[in-house]
Structure 1
């Protein structure tokens, strides 16, 4: 096997266990803020200048030697903290170095300023693979910024991201962002159907060793092992964190004057409980920071989904929101008691990721503790069966009461559409009933009925809120005491319909 063209220096022994021991030892040391010697050409790059830099595909690592190729992200603009890349072959690791000659510098940049540039590291990297066609090397996964990464399934476009770890998200102490400092990528063979990436994580409160076994496909699957070592007590640690964007949909579009019907990378949080029950929480762009905890024990899965796949509902020919991937996290061990934390942050711009979801263990992490979590991440247009549970397909909200007559002031109407094989064969006179629960509010009226034009079943709730606090709603459909649908959940505040 030919040596990697960009690998430099003497090879050193490497394994995931060796990395684990090194990060465990590092956790016993005091954290020091890293100092980076950033070349002047990089330090001065603006957003537009950084966008003008492109990696030269012919210089990709393993180009023409394997079904996977690696391309580096250039440092600059927001990305001034270098990460070190290493190629692992037969248990030996060598650092991979890229130079200015591996990139194309387009106008308004002067290419001559960068030809002799030798970077102290890279901003990150991406892996390419023939995901959608055998003769095209599509971008498959990227690791860029702090501990952020994202991936694609077949025929999807980049949307939401994941992170290695979340620390103190939405707490009074302020969030800490651990970063991957070093990556060790196992060299693929010509017949490799998966690729393994190891990463070292470091921050003020923790160190960590991560392993990602990445298998591309219709849904690209990452099998993750996270070994975490606490330097300090941690108020709130987030496992398998994922970050997305939700600006508006049918439930809150009155706050936005926009020709598009919806703007979001994800429209709901999905939870699969230990007993097999499934919960769907429609996302919101609230007027104030909203934090929700779903208390669970050994959940089977949770994730942020883009369930709506119809272009007509979005009407954004450039962004392609209907093609954004869903992301499902499935624990591979018993995670015990804890909660799935959903954070919804107000935003008026679709460039801001304002949705965060992660698992919080019940027991607070103390300094000196070691933890290990194994889980599977699936990225893609993940299919959901409707044989056993009908799914929530749309949520709409507006002023409550009956049109054309005077109604009680302050009523709010919620309209939830359910669809699925389990419902479609039922006639309109079937004895379907809705089980509805509300906190901080009273149900004034509710009905459930079949929509003849499409076979869906519609739940309509008129609610009168009590006080100014958030109203929590959940509901599901029953037939003769048999549950037909997943459990719908939503949080609403009186001010949410008046955002400006």
Structure 2
């Protein structure tokens, strides 16, 4: 039903949503921050139901209301929210709000579930703003976000932001562990019918089916887009004079191929807009990960970056030929998202096209997606001046130190016959030394790299031995600025 509706809508010109008006339009940042949904007003509080529904107040940045509907069996009913559902923490603000006034829609919604304890309904997933949403696994706090679709991201013609204009929530029954959300996506260039099947857990999964109908030709269609933040880490603090050794929601892009290869691309905060492209024939999985879970790595007692979720996208079915694109945007503030990753189909995407993609999202501390457990993983990376550290530096080269552990590397003798497999595009690897780290069950690869000034160098490195690949492939884009 929704699919047919969005297909039909794509044949008509786009109609922009009517923004809120009156007191809702007047809410500024300070006022909006003092508005909270009343927990006692949560929907679905019946005994045995494993989910609770909260709504977000319209206003401030969220001036385009979203319609919410509830599906019960074969019946569909609009869900209404009023000012009585919200707490206005400022007395002057509360007096200016009409009592029990019905909202024209909401800014978004949030689902709660017993994620960490059986007796507490924790936040599970949030849908708010354009087509943005974000979820949590057990022990996580909010970090990176996902979107329904990315249109012309990072292109000169400018990005378009489709929005979820209306949603339908299937009312969960007692004992059900999965909740289903349907959403209508709309924008000047595309419409879409989405289904989200959300299952909380140590790793929360969200099964997504996206049916897209193009109104216009789209130069770049981004499927399963992810948005995150990377300011700096111990590898390269750049200009940041900060007591914290690392500040990021995600530290790397991970890509698992159908051939069983895993690529681990450390993220950058580049001096200028940067893009990297990774060809993949229907990837087994890709995503943005926060691998280091040690508080000492971040030392942030408020943000707790060690709790930020990783997110892996696992295609369901054959996506065909395409490319994973990573966009890295210069940033000097951690409140700014500056990392975007998504999959681009090789085929042209033209007006009148109907496309369908299905994928499973894995949100959690260490979602594996389709990664091989036999491959050693990158545990850390450091970089500095070339030469002999503390003895004789070489400003003409850059040193990269990559540590690997786990997989089939575990418990190998120090005289194991291993080989470093390295490459540098637009640069030269002067030296590559692979050796065990005494007492740590790790192997360290040290690269000395030379490049022309301002060169953009794509580095790759991994470990092989005994006629097989033994590690994931570390990747990094070094700008010799």
Shorter-chain TM-score bucket reads over 0.9
Residues 142 and 308 in structure 2, CA contact (< 8 A), matched pair in contact too: yes
CA 1:390 to 1:103, structure 2 compared with 1: closer, same or farther past 3 Å?
A: same
CA 1:234 to 1:251, structure 2 compared with 1: closer, same or farther past 3 Å?
A: same
Write the distance in 2 (CA, Å) between the matches of 1:122 and 1:427.
Answer: 61
CA offset digits 1:18-70 (Å, max 9, x no partner): 0000000000001122222x233222222221111111111111123421111
Unaligned 5+ segments in structure 2 are none
Write the distance in 2 (CA, Å) between the matches of 1:470 and 1:337.
Answer: 26
Which one of 188, 199, 202 corresponds to residue 218 of structure 1?
Answer: 202
1:395 aligns with 2:381: yes
Secondary structure of the structure 1 residue equivalent to 2:387: coil
Structure 1 residue 455, shift from structure 2 partner: 1.8
Write the distance in 2 (CA, Å) between the matches of 1:87 and 1:383.
Answer: 31
CA offset digits 1:419-473 (Å, max 9, x no partner): 1142230122222221100011111111011111422111110100135331000
The corresponding residue for 2:32 is 50
CA offset digits 1:376-431 (Å, max 9, x no partner): 00101125477410001111111111135555442111111111142230122222
The corresponding residue for 1:431 is 417
Q: Which deviates the most, 24-33 or 57-66?
A: 57-66
Secondary structure of the structure 1 residue equivalent to 2:206: strand
Which one of 458, 470, 474 corresponds to residue 484 of structure 1?
Answer: 470
Structure 1 residue 480, shift from structure 2 partner: 3.1
The corresponding residue for 2:480 is 494
Secondary structure of the structure 1 residue equivalent to 2:438: coil
Across the aligned residues of Structure 1 and Structure 2, the Cα RMSD in angstroms comes to 1.4
Write the distance in 2 (CA, Å) between the matches of 1:126 and 1:43.
Answer: 22
Write the distance in 2 (CA, Å) between the matches of 1:447 and 1:301.
Answer: 31
The corresponding residue for 2:105 is 121
The corresponding residue for 1:315 is 299
CA 1:318 to 1:102, structure 2 compared with 1: closer, same or farther past 3 Å?
A: same
Residues 312 and 367 in structure 2, CA contact (< 8 A), matched pair in contact too: no
TM norm structure 2: 0.97
Output aligned runs, 1:99-118, within 5 Å: 99-107=82-90, 109-114=92-97, 115-118=99-102
Secondary structure of the structure 2 residue equivalent to 1:255: coil
Write the distance in 1 (CA, Å) between the matches of 2:389 and 2:474.
Answer: 25
CA 1:404 to 1:191, structure 2 compared with 1: closer, same or farther past 3 Å?
A: closer
The corresponding residue for 1:77 is 60
The corresponding residue for 2:350 is 366
Aligned residues: 477
1:98 aligns with 2:88: no
Structure 1 residue 299, shift from structure 2 partner: 0.9
Residues 49 and 108 in structure 1, CA contact (< 8 A), matched pair in contact too: no
The corresponding residue for 2:265 is 281
Output aligned runs, 1:120-139, within 5 Å: 120-139=104-123
Unaligned 5+ segments in structure 1 are 1-17, 496-500
1:40 aligns with 2:22: yes
TM norm structure 1: 0.93
Write the distance in 1 (CA, Å) between the matches of 2:35 and 2:28.
Answer: 11
The corresponding residue for 2:235 is 251
Which one of 149, 159, 177 corresponds to residue 161 of structure 2?
Answer: 177
Residues 52 and 108 in structure 1, CA contact (< 8 A), matched pair in contact too: no
Write the distance in 2 (CA, Å) between the matches of 1:42 and 1:105.
Answer: 13
Residues 310 and 367 in structure 2, CA contact (< 8 A), matched pair in contact too: no
The corresponding residue for 1:10 is none
Which one of 220, 223, 230 corresponds to residue 239 of structure 1?
Answer: 223
Write the distance in 2 (CA, Å) between the matches of 1:228 and 1:334.
Answer: 16
Write the distance in 2 (CA, Å) between the matches of 1:69 and 1:405.
Answer: 61
Write the distance in 2 (CA, Å) between the matches of 1:164 and 1:300.
Answer: 20
Structure 1 residue 153, shift from structure 2 partner: 0.6
The corresponding residue for 1:13 is none
